[in-house]
């Protein structure tokens, strides 16, 4: 297993703790993958109170950095007794003049994978209203949440791009999240390591098309074809456009979304898949001018 440290991020009141507890229980009890959850904020506060007599947020930056390094050591120590260590955290918090980033270089460098829980904004507003104590927020709006999430996803994507990693966007579909995590941690190298997969595909293309008279191109964004061939293909399999759009809503195109689509395809037989491919092929309307210009250049 190539994934040992996973960091889960989300905005406040998104249900992150609930999902992580479900994942830890599922992996430990049903998948025989020894998994541990380290609660980042809680542990940092405990370390801070023990060493400095106050909460972590009141410390000076040098003292915070000292405890972050100690926490990183704790992650590595925990890995010695577990196959997978999951840490929850935050990228930022809303401030009057924008956002206060709390994600650090230590966070960036210690984790193998980064997951972001993108719970619908209206649910987060509801959870904020229903919370108690310091977690209760009756003034935050759906628009506030949407902008906050958009900011975090954009910034975290940049962080992951620099690391040549993928920011994986999860949703509120707990059962699918559980099945995806199981697949991810047990099949990372063969199914989710982008660089490995891309090299294999490029190496296979010459061999696979050498003796073929036709190549079926599935173009999802209407670049090569005028129509969206994926919708035609899925329609032939009884998969509605609404279901696809819901999976990819808010422009989420990460391994998790494609795992969900693959799950839909797996419910169909080999013969159904072949026939749907041929039917979709017959409906392709190519952008001949674009293809000709590309060929000439």
Q: What is the pLDDT of residues 171-209, one digit of tens each?
A: 999 999 999 999 999 999 889 988 888 888 889 888 888
All structural domains of the chain, each given as residue ranges with its CATH number in brackets, are 5-190 (3.40.50.300), 213-296 (no CATH)
Using alpha carbons, list the distances in angstroms from residue 236 to 41, 150, 280, 283, 295.
Answer: 49, 34, 8, 11, 32
Distances (CA, A) of 102 to 90, 95, 175, 249: 7, 12, 30, 27
State the pLDDT at residue 146: 94
pLDDT bin (cut points 50, 70, 90) of residue 294 is low
- Pair of tokens at residue 239: 């998969």
Residues of the chain with pLDDT > 70, as a percent, come to: 94
Which residues lie below 8 Å from residue 33, measured CB to CB, with a gap of 6+?
A: 1, 27, 83, 84, 182, 185, 186
Q: How far apart are CA 200 and CA 22, in angstroms?
A: 34
Calculate the alpha carbon distances from 116 to 109, 134, 154 in Å: 17, 23, 11
Query: Residue 84: in which H helix or E strand, if any?
Result: strand 84-89
Model pLDDT, residue 180: 97
As a whole number of angstroms, the longest Cα–Cα distance in the chain is 74
Residue range 71-82: mean pLDDT, rounded: 91
What's residue 120's pLDDT?
A: 93
- Tracing tokens 């980042």 back to the chain, one arrives at 40
Q: What pLDDT, in 10s, does the model give residues 256-273?
A: 999 999 999 999 999 999
- The C-alpha atoms of residue 151 and residue 145 are separated, in whole angstroms, by 10
Percent share of the chain, pLDDT over 90: 59
pLDDT of 291 > 80? The answer is no
**Which H helix or E strand runs over 115?**
strand 113-117
List all residues 6 or more positions away from 22 whose beta carbon is below 8 Å from its beta carbon. Answer: 174, 177, 178
Q: Does 217 have pLDDT greater than 60?
A: yes
The answer, yes or no, to whether residue 82 has pLDDT greater than 80, is yes
pLDDT digits (tens, 9 = 90+) for 17-46: 999 999 999 999 999 999 999 998 899 999
- CB of 170 closer than 8 Å to CB of 117: yes
Going by DSSP bridges, is the β-strand pair 84-89/35-39 parallel, antiparallel, or unpaired?
A: parallel
First-to-final CA distance of the chain: 45
Number of neighbours of residue 234 by Cβ within 10 angstroms:
21
Least confident of 82-91, 101-110, 200-209, 214-223: 214-223
**Confidence band, pLDDT 50/70/90 cuts, at residue 220:** low
pLDDT tens digits, 124-171: 999 899 888 878 888 899 999 999 999 999 999 999 999 999 999 999
Distance between CA 255 and CA 165 in Å, rounded? 12
Does residue 221 register a pLDDT over 70? no
Residue 3 confidence (pLDDT) above 70: no
At 292, the pLDDT band (50, 70, 90 cuts) reads: low
pLDDT at 261: 94
């Amino acid at each position: 297993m190539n994934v040992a440290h996973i960091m889960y991020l989300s905005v406040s009141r998104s249900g992150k703790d609930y999902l992580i507890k479900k994942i830890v229980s599922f992996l430990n009890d049903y998948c025989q993958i020894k998994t541990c959850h380290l609660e980042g904020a809680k542990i940092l506060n405990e370390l801070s109170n023990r060493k400095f007599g106050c909460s972590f947020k009141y410390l000076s930056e040098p003292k915070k950095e000292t405890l972050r390094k100690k926490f990183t050591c704790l992650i590595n120590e925990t890995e010695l007794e577990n196959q997978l260590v999951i840490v929850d955290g935050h990228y930022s918090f809303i401030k009057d003049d924008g956002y206060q980033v709390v994600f650090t270089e230590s966070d960036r460098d210690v984790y193998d994978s980064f997951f972001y829980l993108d719970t619908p904004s209206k649910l987060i507003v509801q959870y904020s209203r229903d919370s108690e104590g310091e977690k209760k927020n009756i003034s935050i709006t759906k628009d506030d949440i949407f902008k906050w999430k958009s900011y975090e996803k954009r910034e975290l994507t940049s962080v992951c791009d620099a690391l040549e990693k993928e920011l994986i966007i999860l949703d509120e579909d707990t059962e699918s999240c559980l099945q995806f995590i199981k697949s991810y941690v047990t099949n990372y190298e063969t199914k989710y390591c982008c660089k490995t997969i891309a090299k294999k595909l490029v190496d296979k293309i010459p061999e696979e098309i050498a003796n073929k008279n036709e190549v079926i191109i599935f173009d999802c964004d209407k670049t090569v074809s005028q129509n969206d061939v994926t919708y035609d293909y899925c329609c032939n399999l009884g998969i509605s456009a609404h279901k696809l759009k819901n999976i990819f809503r808010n422009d989420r195109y990460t391994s998790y979304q494609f795992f969900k689509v693959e799950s839909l395809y797996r419910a169909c037989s080999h013969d159904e898949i072949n026939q749907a491919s041929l039917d979709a092929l017959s409906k392709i309307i190519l952008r001949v001018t674009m293809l000709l210009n590309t060929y000439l250049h």
